[in-house]
């Protein structure tokens, strides 16, 4: 009996040391990167340790892979698309965002997506009347700061703008005064989601009181609009197709989270880069003056701004809206990161790392970490070539690529053009010791500048 107990104790200790301890060590390292606002850089340290861009990345209770290899990403997003899902890895989002189309597989994903696709056609996202009206409060804040000579943080203003725009697009009217409460609740909820993601298959055990309160506030925000007759075409399309109110609420929250955060973050990163490179900012302003002048920009005018589009592409390369996403095989699958194939079991998570992919020196050159928009103008086919090689994926590719890509691009470019027309220029303001040249990120699935975007405004 003592021998049996000893053997059992040794076995349990071995399991603890071989499985739990490594996860605890990794969690400790991740928490360090979170504390220093450097989380998107963490996978790069793992690739360096393994000397490979496809490496083991187990989560508690399950094996897994982490990859920044174009061929592996292509396999999971396109070549094996019908045999790959997302729902298992995104389950931790469901308490906050519901089981919406970005968290579902099969018909529960494809049906609502097919219904909503026509809402994101080029004609539907090319009218700027709504955006222009929603920009007026932002301009009021900017011009007041310019008059007083005070510095202003543009990041929260961009978040308010994109939240109003997204709720108007989805629900028929801007968020208005309710937006701040919703945004705070969503941010609080996402902090808990991020933590629960580190728990692997045990994500469901994390439900502290603050998380529950945030869930109630987020759900209540959408319910407020669903009870009104002003709900927009997005909601009406889903309800008319037979989706339940619970399903519609989840689809709205999924799309609201993706649309609001990604566009606001991209706006913030564009300005963050420009105020650190006066030479590039001057070229953008000159192009705006030459193409648009003082007129309101049109879709055609935005398309003519080649250098501005290069600046946007370079921003999306260095700061993709979603730096890391997940896939899992629905059946046995093989990926080829190099000469030796890797066989994946059903449900084995694979994490696709766009952030590192976009900064690989072997793909982008020795200056891959530098902000150099000129790289996009040196070869007219550069964007098409890098996308075809699965090296440039700011909005994803394949069947689950972003429906709102053109809406996001138009919103960012229009907003920057109008801001340039309103003020004489933007100067960088250093508010904290951390706000130096080393980039820092918010701890969000859609990272924005970690210290905000503080600027002074020229006359």
Tokens 């963050």, residue located: 272
Per-residue confidence in pLDDT tens, the chain, 459 aa: 555 545 545 444 544 454 566 667 777 888 888 899 999 999 999 999 999 999 999 887 778 999 999 999 999 999 999 999 999 899 999 999 999 999 999 999 999 999 888 888 765 666 799 999 999 999 999 999 999 999 999 999 999 999 999 998 888 889 988 899 999 999 999 989 988 888 888 899 999 999 999 999 999 999 888 887 556 788 888 888 888 889 999 999 999 888 888 999 999 999 999 999 999 999 999 999 999 999 999 999 999 999 999 999 999 999 999 999 999 999 999 887 777 889 999 999 999 999 999 999 999 999 999 999 999 987 778 999 999 999 999 999 999 999 889 999 999 999 999 999 999 889 999 877 666 668 999 988 899 999 999 999 887
Q: Provide the terminal-to-terminal Cα distance of the chain, rounded to the nearest Å.
A: 85
CA atoms within a 13 Å half-sphere pointing along the CA-CB vector of 150: 9
Q: What is the DSSP string of 349-412?
A: -EEEEHHHHTT-HHHH-TTTTS--GGGGTSSTTHHHHHHHTT---TT--STT--TTHHHHHHHH
Residue 63's pLDDT is what?
84
Q: Is 17 annotated as a binding residue?
A: no
User: Taking Cα atoms as reference points, which of 344, 96, 55, 397 lies closest to residue 222?
Assistant: 96
Q: What is the pLDDT of residue 163?
A: 93
Place of tokens 């409060």: 137
pTM of the predicted protein model: 0.91
């Amino acid at each position: 009996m003592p021998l049996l107990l000893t053997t059992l104790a040794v076995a349990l200790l071995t399991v603890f040391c071989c499985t739990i301890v490594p996860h605890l060590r990794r969690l400790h390292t991740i928490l360090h990167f979170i504390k220093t606002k450097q989380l998107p850089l963490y996978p790069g340290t793992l690739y360096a340790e393994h000397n490979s861009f496809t490496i083991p990345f187990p989560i508690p209770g399950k094996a897994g892979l982490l990859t920044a290899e174009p061929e592996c990403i292509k396999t999971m997003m396109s070549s094996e698309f019908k045999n790959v899902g997302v729902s298992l890895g995104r389950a931790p989002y469901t308490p906050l965002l519901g089981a919406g189309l970005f968290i579902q597989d099969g018909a529960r994903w494809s049906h609502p997506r097919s219904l909503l696709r026509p809402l994101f056609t080029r004609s539907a996202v090319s009218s700027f009347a709504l955006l222009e009206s929603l920009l007026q409060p932002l301009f009021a804040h900017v011009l007041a700061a310019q008059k007083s000579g005070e510095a202003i943080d543009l990041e929260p203003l961009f978040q308010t703008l994109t939240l109003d725009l997204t709720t108007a697009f989805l629900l028929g009217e801007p968020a208005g005064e309710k937006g701040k409460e919703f945004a705070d609740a969503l941010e609080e909820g996402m902090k808990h989601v991020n933590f629960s993601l580190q728990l692997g298959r045990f994500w469901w055990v994390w439900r502290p009181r603050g998380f529950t309160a945030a869930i109630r506030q987020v759900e209540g925000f959408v319910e407020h609009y669903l009870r009104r007759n002003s709900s927009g075409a997005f909601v009406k399309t889903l309800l008319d197709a037979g989706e339940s109110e619970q399903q519609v609420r989840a689809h709205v929250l999924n799309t609201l989270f993706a649309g609001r955060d990604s566009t606001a973050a991209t706006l913030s990163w564009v300005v963050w880069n420009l105020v650190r490179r006066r030479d590039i900012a001057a070229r953008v302003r000159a192009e705006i003056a030459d193409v648009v002048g003082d007129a309101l920009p049109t879709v055609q005018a935005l398309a003519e701004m080649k250098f501005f589009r290069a600046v946007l592409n370079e921003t999306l390369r260095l700061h993709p809206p979603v730096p890391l996403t997940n896939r899992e095989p629905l059946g046995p699958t093989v990926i080829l990161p190099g000469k030796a194939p890797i066989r994946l079991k059903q449900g084995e998570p694979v994490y696709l790392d766009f952030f590192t992919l976009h900064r690989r020196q072997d793909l982008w050159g020795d200056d891959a970490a530098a902000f150099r928009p000129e790289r996009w103008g040196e070869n007219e086919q550069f964007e098409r070539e890098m996308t075809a090689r699965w090296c440039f994926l700011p909005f994803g590719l394949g069947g689950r690529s972003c429906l709102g890509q053109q809406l996001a691009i138009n919103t960012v470019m229009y907003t920057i053009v109008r801001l340039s027309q309103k003020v004489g220029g933007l100067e960088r303001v250093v508010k904290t010791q951390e706000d130096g040249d080393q980039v820092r990120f918010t701890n969000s699935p859609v990272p924005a500048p970690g210290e905000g975007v503080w600027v002074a405004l020229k006359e």
